A and B are shown apart, each in its own frame.
Chain A
Amino acid sequence: MAAGHLASTVLREALELGLLREPELIEMENGAAARGKLLVPGRGEATIVVALSEAFPVDLPRILLVPWNQLGFIPHVAPDGTVCFSEREGLLLDIRRPLDIVRESLERTSQLLIDGASGANAGDFVEEFEWYWRQTECRDVLSVLIPDDKIDRILLVESEKNGTWVCRSAGDIAAFFNQDGAIAISRVRDGLFVPLEPGCRVLPPRPDRAFWTTAELRDKLLPCLSPSNKARLKRVFKRDGPSPEVVIFSLPRKNGGETLFGVEYHAPGKRHPLQDKGTAQSIQPIRVTRLDKKYLKTRGGGNATLDEKRVIVVGCGAIGGRIAVELARSGVGTLALVDDERLAPENTFRHVLGRQSWTKYKTDALKSEIESEIPYVNVIPFTRRIEEVIRNAAIDLSHYDLLISAVGDATVELKLNEQLGRAETPAAIFTWLEPLGIGGHALLVGGRAPGGCLECLYTSLDDVDAPFENRASFAAAGQRFGRDLSGCGSVFTPYGSLDAQQTATLAVRLALDYLLQVEGGNPLRSWKGERLALEAAGFRVSARYGLGLDELRETSYAYANPRCRICGNRSPARADR
């Protein structure tokens, strides 16, 4: 009642202010509504209906142009008259000022109607094209083809169980599912991919009329071909070959990206309907759901340039498992996983894999988890210890851009550090976690600058006889943490899983910064946790723990040690790959 009261009060105030010409209230059960007129210079007036629902002002006012086509076919007006004057996404409404919300809604509507009537915003149809296309009686097709700017033959693959797909080759579908033969194909037909020129203005099919005829389609779309594509189209029909029954068009959008839509010709004549005077028995619009790599990776926050990158993850435990999954989600195209252990039930509460994967090798289980959940990623398992993999040259390291080691064994990693860092080996990230939530670290080695490696952390700056200890540690050196404490899932630290996750996040950010060439040096990055649990357990923090967050950031390259026996004499910086 209160909300309904607000709607009618605000509407009455709006009308009293004269926001609508010739206003009259309309009965509305759950809210308040009025009919009136807005001035549209050059076209006289437009009749609209303003409706405030009970949910107003959290819900925007609804504004309808009645009848919808009184200004012609203009953008941002749906066939039911709804004026799309604002996108809700990314919008914060100041609900303390409901009257101003109504005022601004009307102002925006007025501007849209003026621009529509004058044709100033006709280009907006391109942005709304897909919406109008979906209003037609269309059939659905899934697309894994990556649009480019050349006319080309494509395939329409029909599967009774898995729907209809368009692709350039069956390999596109295999890449999507990360495996061959993922769908049972019942029929394959020929199609054509036809890209339209950027900046072309195409009016969508009018929702109040019948869909385009083959001739109308030609008139509207063929002028939008580039000269070279016009020539290509001619060549397609000159050559002998199957007549394409399906045509997928790509319409470039103003702000990047493109809209895909298509048509299917039933019983095309001898002259193809895209050719002058060509015919077909009928034409049906196709609506395209894009599942291609370019679209999914850029829309989902992944990075398309990472697709070419190849990363080895050594150690698939609490940290390494998460690193593998997050790299895949970031869009890295190829992952090699190295680990020789099986997932045990006691790993469950800290590992990215769960019950389904018990007793399986972590590598295999991660491969099937990642490949079934995330398209376009190739996961190669190496179910062996890294020492063995390197000894037997089972992986050609030179084919990879980065190796991330999350083994949790400093001795093994120091040896690995020694073996890497040559021109033919990839850059490496070493990452590890300290006990009781005190912190975690990720170190880049062999990046785009010389100097700095894992051994530097274990080399005293000035004391040859100094004990062998990690200078990065937040826990003071020389303390013994038993197995119960140093494992990430220790019973003493309920944050074990979060600590592993935070460390994995740190490592993956560093990995992406390296791969995307944001990071030019070899930093050690750390996250610093609370000291309470560590001290309560009777342990001490290191001097480095006492550094403030600014100091940690400022000294993130300062670990590099000229006395280091591994990198002290190593000079060449890596050339960018």
Chain B
Amino acid sequence: MADVQKQFEQFHDAIKLKEYGENATLREKRDVIRTRLKERLPKVLEEHGEVSLSFYFKDQGSYEMRTGIQPLDGDYDIDQGMYFAISTDAYPDPVVLKERVLEALEGHTQDVRVRQSCVTVFYQLDGEAVFHVDLALYSEGDQNADGKARLAKGRQSCPLEDRTWEVSDPESLFEAIFRRVNGTSRDQLRRIIRYLKRWKDRRFSATGHSAPRGIALTVAASDEFQASFRDVFAGKPDDLTALRRLTRAILARFTDIWDDATQSFAHRLVVKLPQEPWNDLFERMSNPQMKVFEDRLDKLARVLDEAGDEVDPVDACKKLRGEFGDDFPVPEPDETGKRSAPAFISSSNSA
């Protein structure tokens, strides 16, 4: 088996999304929105004759989990949790609160929308989306009788019964996903999740529900992940083997599920959120979309196997590039050529 760990790590460096601390642009955009809401929201509420609300922000999603990747289309997304010190009773219709937030942001960019689980601010450059900020609004856990935080769901077009406060706890989700692994294994899991997300971005269209959600791949990976090392003692990981095993394990999890609507079986992957509301993260994918997903995943598994069987790293990397794109490096042939190892080696031993 060729050793392509170096190339996997270079690939990871290329696709990894920098954290706020290292990414001034994203941090600025995030902070502009935070500041604007702090200034404008109280006025908006006052205009509507509603009581002033105290709230705070939290980074969420792949930033928080450190599983974010560089977008292919340049559309970065910033996930922000906005926690209000109110019980859900304060706004029985959560869409009203979302509209207040929307109003506070209007005029900030050309495009601000209330979406099912968030309020989204789109930034554009020359008509192209450059990034968007998803604001998820929460009623703080402490404010509710059962101590659980709730997410404001629904949009203006929804009937009233679909506008709900849904139990949601992104902070403990992080724990649930990473609790199984530690240290170098946890680092490997993060890399594997990023590889899968880049693969997804390349293989599926971003619109509609044809692409698996990032969180769905993340939870599936965390469920099935087994750390793999080329040399566990020396701390040398083997991402190719870990990814091969994981892909095979996810494929093995597809099962025949009875679909009442079509009165037939559908081969589907079910991955549930490991906490309330325990929903299937693939539920929005249609059966035909699921079939495409399975086929492409199967293709990925075959390519990973072939790459693993290659002896020459150059050939292995060419195969991998087919699935992961040009960010996956292919070494020059002489880079990997075998030279006779030196017989004089410097040693760091002393006594």
Contacts and interface: CB of A to CB of B under 8 A. Distances in A.
Interface string B234-247: 11110000000000
Contacts of B349: 408-410, 432-434, 470, 486
Nearest to B234: A471
Contacts of A20: none
B341 A468 contact: yes
B184 interface: yes
B230 interface: yes
Given A471-B233, A544-B234, A435 B184 contact: no
Contacts of A471: 231, 233-234
B348 A479 contact: yes
Interface string B310-351: 000000000000000000000000000010111101111111
A394 B159 CA distance: 95
B3 interface: yes
B262 to A, nearest CB: 49
Contacts of A433: 349-351
A480 interface: yes
Given A543-B236, A546-B235, A551-B183, A408 B351 contact: yes
B14 interface: no
Interface bracket on A: 35 or more
A432 B351 contact: yes
Contacts of A406: 351
Contacts of B237: 543
Contacts of A381: none
Contacts, number: 101
B232 interface: yes
Contacts of B90: none
Contacts of B341: 465-468
Interface residues of B, number: 25
A315 interface: yes
B233 to A, nearest CB: 4
Interface in A400-438: 406-410, 431-435
Contact of A555 (B230, B233, B342, B343): B233
A320 B351 CA distance: 7
A548 interface: yes
B1 interface: yes
B233 A544 contact: yes
A134 B3 CA distance: 77
Contacts of A480: 346
A488 interface: yes
Q: Which of B3, B347, B349 has the most CB of A within 10 A?
A: B349
A472 interface: yes
Contacts of B350: 408, 432-435, 486-488
A473 B350 CA distance: 12
Nearest to B186: A548
B182 interface: yes
Contacts of B342: 467-468
Interface in A283-333: 315, 317-320
Given A468-B341, A543-B235, A555-B235, 16 more contacts: A317-B351, A318-B351, A465-B338, A468-B343, A470-B348, A478-B346, A481-B346, A486-B349, A487-B350, A543-B236, A543-B237, A547-B183, A550-B182, A558-B232, A558-B233, A559-B233
25 contacts: A407-B351, A432-B350, A433-B349, A433-B350, A434-B349, A463-B3, A467-B342, A470-B347, A471-B234, A475-B348, A479-B346, A481-B346, A486-B347, A500-B351, A542-B234, A543-B235, A543-B237, A544-B233, A544-B234, A544-B236, A546-B235, A548-B182, A548-B183, A550-B183, A551-B235
Interface of B: 1, 3, 182-184, 230-237, 338, 340-343, 345-351
- State the 5 A-B residue pairs at the shortest beta-carbon distance, nearest first: A408-B351, A548-B183, A558-B233, A406-B351, A543-B235
